[in-house]
Structure 1
């Protein structure tokens, strides 16, 4: 590709960067002389001038290409998404218009599963709270830290036995945890007990690990009835999306003894975390760092970059969540 063609896609359109991108991906995007979507008051004038020339948008799961932006890009043909979840991008509109959407699956499985296990360990054992107890000088003045719950032998329910759910289960088996699960469909090649609803699973376990994909289909899947079924001795771990949980009900039950504890990496309105939740000592709160290792983010960047290059070359995607329309 000659330098004069660097910004052209297979049909002559521009690449648009939407939101901050990780450095490895940004370096590849920069080769294509991208447009960069501004925020605030400048956005309207920018779109009036450039919207028609944009054929490819590159974004992250955090930012996405929402309904309004997608509608403002009349010739958009592909959204390259850094991340597995695409719930911040309007997939329904993309499908209607034949706009391809790609993601970066598989490579973040191990790190997210590690995070789920860490959150489960902390929810039961209270290590982060115990660390605060020492730092605040309370061990000296108040004596021994409260007793916590043993992890071995715990009944763990996994909501969503996909790649991440299975990796979590594999890590917990050596602890002696007893695994059960709920999925849209029963998984053929596992021996774990299957429960036919989230409520039935929650009733049967001590810890519920949420590992489903985000999006409209799973919004508030873990509602008040599921949390209530988990009960005052139950724990919730969420490495999925904040939208999957009824956050208001979760905060209320944690604050009033309706749940024993939780480990959370995701929230409904990130980066906002409800103040009431931040004040609770029976919750471990992480700032959405499930896949946040150098190795994983680099691998995710490589996949997103490969999807971009492939689309610019021939109009296809390597990891389509929504297939691009055929263009002749």
Structure 2
């Protein structure tokens, strides 16, 4: 029976299915694997099911390797040095379709919470400081009919645009590295032009070397003073230092973040700002979604173990 390492526990139904087919080892921690663990796993297991943050850097592939492949749990795989893995003879896969709707829903959650000051309002109530309703209490930004800007019009970007256009009557503008014809949306040539045109800018690009700090000081400077930035991609696609400076100077209206540059560290300067909604990377955190992701990852694992072409190669 092939040996499978699951780097962090998955939902019970997924774990049971894995044990039916493989000799499974699951680490007993919720923390990501460090470099030494990754090297050891590559030498000891036939297939590895990594999760966010596991240190499969290029250095991990320099020792002895038994593994046939890495079946990543999640659509993002910037924690895996894919070229080094392939050079070492490993297949690398991910779980794309399963995450789309859940991640788009979190983007809408962050748009609404930030625009309508919901996090700030809840903190006020929980602190026992609410003095009662009045006509100019905590006035936020009305969302319906505004302009949405999407940076990265892949599956998730399109799902966000669909929700905002059809659900809230928003005009949609977007920037994408390739030309796309999206119903109800207009493509613009640059990130800065999207930022200048939108009332809310959502970042939905994959994490690659090319997208690091795609939202930088220049992009933030192009945004309107009332506009909000939402990031549901990966933390390093936004220059966090530049974002903090823009928020502190009230250069933009606010931000909604589900991801951070140095997760799980969230700068105190961000935590101190009432204009920011902060979530603990909840993008796909729904049981049925994680079960779907797990089943997709397991299908990749089985294919890798059987030396077949996996369903979702990266």
Task: Tell me if both proteins adopt one fold, taking TM over 0.5 as the criterion.
Answer: yes
Q: 1:188 to 1:47 in 2, by over 3 A?
A: closer
- Tell me if structure 1 keeps the 8 A contact 2:260–2:266: yes
Identify the residue that residue 159 of structure 1 maps to in structure 2: 151
State the Cα distance separating 1:104 from its structure 2 match: 0.8
Identify the residue that residue 137 of structure 2 maps to in structure 1: 145
Identify the residue that residue 209 of structure 1 maps to in structure 2: 202
Q: In the alignment, which of 53, 56, 74 is matched to residue 47 of structure 2?
A: 56
Q: Deviations over 1:52-85 (max 9, x none)?
A: 4433211113436333333335233200111010
Q: Deviations over 1:278-302 (max 9, x none)?
A: 1111111110111111110110011
Q: Deviations over 1:99-125 (max 9, x none)?
A: 211111111211111111111111111
1:221 aligns with 2:211: no
Identify the residue that residue 198 of structure 1 maps to in structure 2: 191
In structure 2, how many angstroms separate the alpha carbons of the residues matched to 1:90 and 1:117?
31
State the Cα distance separating 1:237 from its structure 2 match: 0.7
Identify the residue that residue 34 of structure 1 maps to in structure 2: 24
Q: In the alignment, which of 73, 76, 91 is matched to residue 82 of structure 1?
A: 73
| TM-score in terms of structure 1 length | 0.85
Q: Aligned with 1:82: secondary structure?
A: coil
Q: 1:103 to 1:180 in 2, by over 3 A?
A: same
In structure 1, how many angstroms separate the alpha carbons of the residues matched to 2:203 and 2:7?
29
Q: 1:191 to 1:149 in 2, by over 3 A?
A: closer
In structure 2, how many angstroms separate the alpha carbons of the residues matched to 1:138 and 1:113?
33
Q: Deviations over 1:138-188 (max 9, x none)?
A: 322896632111111211101111111111111111312111000001213
Q: How does 1:1-328 map to 2 (within 5 A)?
A: 6=1, 8=2, 14-31=3-20, 32-35=22-25, 52-63=43-54, 65-140=56-131, 145-173=137-165, 174-321=167-314
Q: Unaligned 5+ residue runs, structure 2?
A: none
Q: 1:27 to 1:73 in 2, by over 3 A?
A: farther
**Moved runs in structure 1, 4+ residues, more than 6 A?**
37-40
- Tell me if structure 1 keeps the 8 A contact 2:11–2:287: no
In structure 1, how many angstroms separate the alpha carbons of the residues matched to 2:222 and 2:65?
47
How many residue pairs match? The answer is 308
In structure 1, how many angstroms separate the alpha carbons of the residues matched to 2:23 and 2:39?
17
Q: 1:182 to 1:44 in 2, by over 3 A?
A: closer
CA RMSD after TM alignment: 2.6
In structure 1, how many angstroms separate the alpha carbons of the residues matched to 2:159 and 2:24?
37
In structure 1, how many angstroms separate the alpha carbons of the residues matched to 2:256 and 2:119?
11
Greater C-alpha radius of gyration: 1
Q: Aligned with 1:157: secondary structure?
A: strand
